[in-house]
Structures are given as C-alpha cells and as structure tokens.
Chains A and B, each alone.
Chain A
C-alpha cells in the first residue's frame, strides 16, 4: 500500500495504481476524455492533469499515467490545474462546437467557449483521443484505422480515406468514442462504417441480424471456432 495526500485528504491505495483511479476512489472527480478502460492510455486529452508535490518541487502531471507514490501530495484543483483544464476545454469547444458531450462537460467544469477562437467546421466531433485506434489495434487486433499526418492536420481514419480491407465492421471504435464522432449505420442486412458497407448475418435461432459476416469470419479464423457455431446471437446463446 502507498499513502498519499489528495486535496488535503489522506488516502491509501495499492502500489502501481494510477493517480486517476486513486483519486476517483477517494470520491474526488477528475474529468477525462481519453482514458477508456478498454484500451491502454496515451495521455492525449490532458484533462486529468493534477499538480503534484514531491519535496519542494511541484509539477503538473496527467493523473491517468502517473502511478501513486508514497508521500505524494496531490492538488486536483490548484490554479495551474484549473488553468490547463479550462484551456483544454476552450480549445476542444472551438474544435468541436457541435459536440453535446463537450458542451455538457464544459458546463460541469464552468468553462465558457472562448469567443476569440473561430470555431472549426471540419473536425466533426473528433477530439483525437485515440481510443478508437487503440481498441482497433489492442482489442480487435485488425488495426484498420490509424492517426494520420501530424500537428493540426492530424486526423483519424482509414488509410487514404478508402474502404479498408482490414476493417471487420465490428463497431468497437464507435463503442469507445467519447463524443460520438464515428458514424455507424445498421439497417436491416447492412451496416455502414468508415465508408464501407458490411453484410450482416442473421442469428440461426431468432433470425435477427446481429453481426457483420466479416466479423464472424475474423473471429472464427482467430479462435478456430467453426463459423457455424458463431452464427447465434448473444441473446439466444
């Protein structure tokens, strides 16, 4: 166990726990957009920053990546912390003015849009949190999507913005997206995602369309379970 002080409160947590979990465990809320439990962490959104004090040195760290240490003094609401959080919110609001999630979060954090920033119209609701790319690589294992270019030109998508042969239409990226940026339409026997249309498979038991054929083929290939055995939806299993 390690003991630390968060906002003046003594808390203890198991060694190796990230500050984010330790702090939330103590009932103190910390906002995040990019720390999704399904994927590894990148520290991209910077909303979860806290100020830590070790000896005489203080510094700003991302709580999602910094492991709790014995004797650490953490301030989750210092002026510096709030300044970073406010800036990040202002910047994201200007990037994705349409995002309801960001609007709600900014209300919670009492941040108004910065009038001096001209709102973008070409970024959709994507905050580049990377969760979709990570889930596609780490959980699904197909790496159909990636993060392309750099700096302010950075985008997420399939190579050349073309239909990806690697995509299986599983929709895991939609599931982890914090802002609802990724569009997926499932109607009847078709699912459309990342510009590609997938054929859906009916459940052998209930007859409902439940998963893309390509996804079932991929699972079968990866696990060795015959395709036929995968033809039953979760509800009927």
Chain B
C-alpha cells in the first residue's frame, strides 16, 4: 500500500529526532556570512580538532545566522544552551576542557548586560532576544542548512505533507488568505490574492518565483534565510506551486550572495533526492521543480517585471504593468512572485493554522517581520518581532540604543524607496500601513539607525545617488528627474544650494513619483520628501547658513585643533595626506584649512579627541 505523504514525512522525522534527544551534547555555531567574516569557521575547525584530540564525540553544527551579528563569532552549547559570544580560536581548548568535559561555564565568554551589568547564560535571557518572536528566523540557529535531515528534524516538510494529503489547492489559498499573509518584499500585497489570481488565470505553464534579489542596502534578512534555512523557502514554494498549479519555480538570488546560491543548490538537490521536489512529489501526481537564477548586480531587478526580464536573459528593464504578473508574468505566463521571507512564512501557516498566525501582529499586518537593525546602533543584527512592535522597543530594548552615548536622530526604513523617521515618531507600531502613513515604507525590512552625526541632506543625497545609478534608464522622469534631484542635493551639500531649491525638489519629486514607469521611480523621491518633511531646518542650514549641523558635508565644515586637548604627539601630522597639520612636538598643533581636505585621517589617529569639526 502506498504511504500517505503526510505519514511518510512524519516517519522520516521521528527517525531523525532520535538523533537529537533532550540530553544530547552538541554545539551550534553561527556560520552566517557576518560570523564567517569574523572567523567562525576557524573556531569550528579548532573545536573539531580539539574534540578529536581530547577524544570526545560531540558534534559541531555550523548553522545559519543567529541574528546577533554584533557579537560574532558565537556558539551555543547544548543541552545546557550556554551562549558564548565573541569566541576566538584561543578560547577553544578551554571550552572543550571546561564546559564540554566538566559542564563549567566560562564567564568571560558569556554576554554581560551593559545596563544591569549582569552576566547572562542563555540566548533567551539576552535583552536582544527577549522581546523577539523568532518563529521564522529562529530555526536558523538550530540546523545545519546543508543537511535536509536537520530541517526534517524540526518539523520540516510536514506542512507540505499536510497540504498534499489533507488540503485542496483552494484550501491552501483560503488558509493563507485567512492568515492575512502580506508580501514581505516591499509592497505588502496579500500573497493569497496573488496565488488566487495566478490559479484562475488562463495560460500554461504557470510559475512561482521567490524574489531573493535583496537590493536594499542595509537589509540582509533574505540572505540569512537563504543561507541559513533554505528548505523553509523551498517548502513554501512547493506549497505555493501546489496552490497555484505551477510546474516550475525560480529563485532569483542577488549576485552578492554566493553562499546563498550554494546552500539553495544543495537544498534543491537533496529535496529532489528525498522525493519532495521533482516528479510525483511524496507519491502524489503533483510535480514541481525549482531552478536558481543568479542576478548580476541590478537593484531594479527586485521589481517584478525587471526580474522576469532578467530570468529571460535580458537587461532588467521593467515594463508598464497594466496587465498584472499573475496573468502575464514570466514569459507572459501566469506567475506568482513572492519575496523569500514571504515564502518562508507559508509552512508555518499550514503547520500551525491561520488562526494561530493571524493572532500575531496588528489589524492589517499579520505575523512577524524580520528586520535588519544596522547603522549607529549598539546591537547590530537581525531581529524578528510581531508586527506592531514599536520603533522604540526595536531600537532601544533590542538594539540597545545608540553607541558612544550619542543622540538618536532618525531611523531609515524601506531602503532607497523608504524614508527617514524622526525621534518624535518612535512610538509608532511598525506595520505596513503605519510606516506608509509617516512617509516611509516597510520595504524588505532594513532599519538604518542614525545619530546626531548623520546629516540628513547627505543621507537623501546618498539615496538619490544610489537610485541614479540603479535606475534602468528607460523612462524620462526616473532617468533624468532623479539625476537632476541628485545634482541639486549635491549642490546643497557642497554649499552651492540656492534659495528655492527645497521647493523645487518637492516639485520635481511629485512629477517623478507620478510620472515614472515602475515602482523604483515611483518611490525614488521618498528619501528626499521624508527628510524635507522632518528635517527641513537641516536643509535650510546648508542653503542659508552654509553650515552642516551634523558635521558631515565636507565643503561646509572645518577642522581645528582644541589646544587644551592636544598633547602635541605628532600623530596627526604623520597621517595627514596633504600636510595640513603642523606643529612642534609637545606643543598644540594647528590645521591649515586651505590645505585640509577633511579626509578624517587626523580624527581617526587622534587619541585625545582634540580635533573639532564645525
């Protein structure tokens, strides 16, 4: 008799669970790109060598990203779940001989709460993790992403079994609709409506696509999912394909993410081998295959029609979308395109039910959202919180506030299409609609925190310069309008701003937003409009007083030496590339502003904070 796909999936899992019993000793070490850059793989190698040397049989799992990137490399020792951070290769012998052999904790490797000064033992005790709800992202840290068995052991592919054995495609769609899952890639469009549209659309074959072209600078949650838990995306896509009636799927991965490509490729191969992908999935007559397409460096390819063009082998130019992608998408066939994180939410909804899912979040935005918390923030990393968590909680409770005692100024959300949110709005609950209301947007979930040393005009200029390069160049308002706005912002930053520039920027912005062909141009003015809205006085300081209050815009600042602080050590003289600094040993030095290029070398070198930027 043929085994029911659901029981088949469960049986495999039960076998696997035996391997990870509650008392089993093993180590999970974060091997996300951030921790790898810190050297986590070297720590892993050292651990394995040391364990072998000491004749201990303890498995070391290189897992996906833990999220707390600030403190890498980090590891967890099971079953006690001791959380060690900033681990170096030199710490390894002690970890093995003390913690693993005798169960003793090494104090210096534990996290110390900077506020309470208390030493904390486990991940869940850390303020960074405490308020999070890590239902999608948390599983990253439990598995080796290169092994399908690990994913199966944490209930992986159970949702697929359930969908194929107990649910009709329509049933899957209505469950996702009831859950209220909205697209995590930017627009916040309801996933189930897309699926329904693609299911109903005429035309064959149909496609499902995962958009992994995470282009927003400062956002890397999709990468961490692709690297750290590729099967969750694949499972979501298979369920989606079943719902839509698609035979083929694509994952479009950003060029800068080679590790994600490797892990996804391995995951697809092992899913095929296990009969979870390919012909007659889990013994049913549903067949579906997934291909990987690597991007080649174009932000605009995050836009659906540009992404299709890129998969089709052409330059990624968007086209006017008066016929929706669910009807005419990839190769003009019905296509359901969702972001990577959206797909990773699907198995959860099927496993735990729409009611469970819809109970998390706000009225209009259900579930959790992963954010990357970066910039001028103490705890840089990835967090997952219920929709509706306030910006304040995110930045202060989890993020630990602003480093070096500086003052918070703004948080930029939504990438180049988003906006800057000022301190007065920190208590807003973060969801799709609220962020839009205050002139920003969710985007893919990047949050870049800025302090009083960040110039908001410079930030607007930065984004417009980015968009000028990334515009595909097809339509006039985006290609020419964004360039002209950028020129004006460059002028303002260079002290050549003119009376009326702010009003002109606003006027161009409206035309660019209304007139552009795709969403890139449509939202391109947001960084400018939101900074004008909340930080107009900074623009005026640049234009009228030729002053950059944050001390960033080089043409508007001068460096000088505070004589009381200068010890005359000569370091700044040594590093200055233009010989602008001078002075005798042990006497206060001087900076010649005609020669100074404000490169910052002296500031970096000065140990006494004797250089004043004004």
Direct contact of A and B (CB under 8 A): yes
- Residues in A lying within 8 Å of B, measured CB to CB: 42-46, 49, 60-62, 65-67, 80, 83-84, 86-88, 91-92, 94-95, 116-118, 127-128, 130, 147, 149-154
- Tell me if B474 counts as interface (CB < 8 A to partner A): yes
- Residues in B lying within 8 Å of A, measured CB to CB: 298, 300, 315, 319-320, 322, 468-477, 479-484, 487-488, 498, 500-501, 504, 507-508, 510-512, 514-517
For B504, give the chain A residue with the smallest CB separation: A116
Give every chain A residue within 8 A of B498 (Cβ-Cβ). 116
Query: Nearest chain A CB to B220's CB is how many angstroms away?
Result: 24
Identify the 7 closest CB pairs spanning chains A and B, nearest first. A87-B511, A154-B473, A84-B515, A91-B480, A151-B471, A43-B320, A152-B483
Most buried by B among A46, A60, A80: A46
**Structural contact, B471 and A150, CB atoms closer than 8 A:** yes
A-B contact pairs, 12 of them (CB 8 A): A43-B319, A44-B476, A44-B517, A60-B515, A83-B511, A128-B473, A128-B476, A147-B315, A150-B470, A150-B472, A151-B473, A154-B473
For A64, give the chain B residue with the smallest CB separation: B320
**Structural contact, B469 and A46, CB atoms closer than 8 A:** no
Most buried by B among A87, A88, A118: A87
Query: Nearest chain A CB to B473's CB is how many angstroms away?
Result: 3
Interface residues of chain A: helix, strand, loop or mixed (majority): mixed
**Structural contact, A127 and B476, CB atoms closer than 8 A:** yes
Cα–Cα distance between A123 and B514 once the two chains are bound (Å)? 25
Cα–Cα distance between A150 and B319 once the two chains are bound (Å)? 15
Most buried by A among B298, B300, B476, B480: B476
Give every chain B residue within 8 A of A43 (Cβ-Cβ). 319-320, 475, 517
**Structural contact, A62 and B320, CB atoms closer than 8 A:** yes
Give every chain B residue within 8 A of A149 (Cβ-Cβ). 473
Cα–Cα distance between A88 and B478 once the two chains are bound (Å)? 10
| From B484, B504, B514, contact of A91 by CB (8 A) | B484
| From A84, A116, A147, A154, contact of B477 by CB (8 A) | A84
Task: Evaluate whether A154 and B479 lie within 8 angstroms (CB atoms) in the complex, with A42-B474, A86-B511 already known.
Answer: yes
**Structural contact, B471 and A87, CB atoms closer than 8 A:** no
Cα–Cα distance between A149 and B317 once the two chains are bound (Å)? 11
**Structural contact, B484 and A117, CB atoms closer than 8 A:** yes
Query: Nearest chain A CB to B461's CB is how many angstroms away?
Result: 15
| From B322, B479, B483, contact of A128 by CB (8 A) | B479
**Structural contact, A116 and B480, CB atoms closer than 8 A:** no
Task: Evaluate whether A61 and B322 lie within 8 angstroms (CB atoms) in the complex, with A116-B498, A152-B468 already known.
Answer: yes
| From A62, A67, A84, A127, contact of B511 by CB (8 A) | A84
| From A61, A65, A95, contact of B480 by CB (8 A) | A95
**Structural contact, A46 and B480, CB atoms closer than 8 A:** no
Query: Nearest chain B CB to A116's CB is how many angstroms away?
Result: 6
Cα–Cα distance between A117 and B441 once the two chains are bound (Å)? 30
Give every chain A residue within 8 A of B504 (Cβ-Cβ). 116
Most buried by A among B488, B512, B514: B514
**Structural contact, B479 and A151, CB atoms closer than 8 A:** yes
| From A65, A67, A92, A117, contact of B476 by CB (8 A) | A92
Task: Evaluate whether A150 and B315 lie within 8 angstroms (CB atoms) in the complex, with A87-B508, A116-B498 already known.
Answer: yes
Query: Nearest chain B CB to A84's CB is how many angstroms away?
Result: 4
Give every chain B residue within 8 A of A151 (Cβ-Cβ). 468-473, 479, 483
| From B315, B322, B473, B508, contact of A152 by CB (8 A) | B473
**Structural contact, A84 and B514, CB atoms closer than 8 A:** yes
**Structural contact, B322 and A66, CB atoms closer than 8 A:** yes
Cα–Cα distance between A45 and B298 once the two chains are bound (Å)? 22
**Structural contact, A83 and B474, CB atoms closer than 8 A:** no
**Structural contact, A65 and B320, CB atoms closer than 8 A:** yes
Give every chain A residue within 8 A of B320 (Cβ-Cβ). 43, 62, 65
Give every chain B residue within 8 A of A80 (Cβ-Cβ). 510, 514
| From B298, B472, B484, contact of A94 by CB (8 A) | B484
Query: Nearest chain B CB to A214's CB is how many angstroms away?
Result: 27
**Structural contact, A45 and B476, CB atoms closer than 8 A:** yes
**Structural contact, B470 and A88, CB atoms closer than 8 A:** no
Give every chain B residue within 8 A of A66 (Cβ-Cβ). 322
**Structural contact, A92 and B511, CB atoms closer than 8 A:** no
Task: Evaluate whether A92 and B480 lie within 8 angstroms (CB atoms) in the complex, with A65-B320, A87-B511 already known.
Answer: yes
Query: Nearest chain B CB to A45's CB is how many angstroms away?
Result: 6
**Structural contact, A88 and B298, CB atoms closer than 8 A:** no
Give every chain A residue within 8 A of B516 (Cβ-Cβ). 46
Give every chain B residue within 8 A of A84 (Cβ-Cβ). 477, 511, 514-515
**Structural contact, B474 and A44, CB atoms closer than 8 A:** yes
Cα–Cα distance between A127 and B476 once the two chains are bound (Å)? 8
Task: Evaluate whether A83 and B510 lie within 8 angstroms (CB atoms) in the complex, with A60-B515, A154-B479 already known.
Answer: yes
**Structural contact, A87 and B481, CB atoms closer than 8 A:** yes
Give every chain A residue within 8 A of B319 (Cβ-Cβ). 42-43
Cα–Cα distance between A92 and B481 once the two chains are bound (Å)? 10
For B316, give the chain A residue with the smallest CB separation: A150
Query: Nearest chain B CB to A189's CB is how many angstroms away?
Result: 38
For A47, give the chain B residue with the smallest CB separation: B476
Q: Other CB < 8 Å A-B pairs besides A87-B477, A128-B476, A151-B471, 11 of them?
A: A43-B475, A43-B517, A46-B475, A46-B517, A65-B320, A65-B322, A87-B481, A91-B477, A116-B498, A150-B470, A151-B479
Give every chain A residue within 8 A of B488 (Cβ-Cβ). 116
For B481, give the chain A residue with the smallest CB separation: A91
| From A42, A65, A87, A95, contact of B512 by CB (8 A) | A87
Query: Nearest chain B CB to A137's CB is how many angstroms away?
Result: 12
**Structural contact, A88 and B477, CB atoms closer than 8 A:** yes
**Structural contact, A152 and B475, CB atoms closer than 8 A:** no
Give every chain A residue within 8 A of B322 (Cβ-Cβ). 61, 65-67
Give every chain A residue within 8 A of B474 (Cβ-Cβ). 42, 44, 128, 130, 154
Give every chain A residue within 8 A of B484 (Cβ-Cβ). 91, 94, 117
Give every chain B residue within 8 A of A49 (Cβ-Cβ). 514-515
Query: Nearest chain B CB to A16's CB is how many angstroms away?
Result: 12
Give every chain B residue within 8 A of A91 (Cβ-Cβ). 476-477, 480-481, 484
Give every chain B residue within 8 A of A65 (Cβ-Cβ). 320, 322
For B322, give the chain A residue with the smallest CB separation: A66
**Structural contact, B476 and A46, CB atoms closer than 8 A:** yes
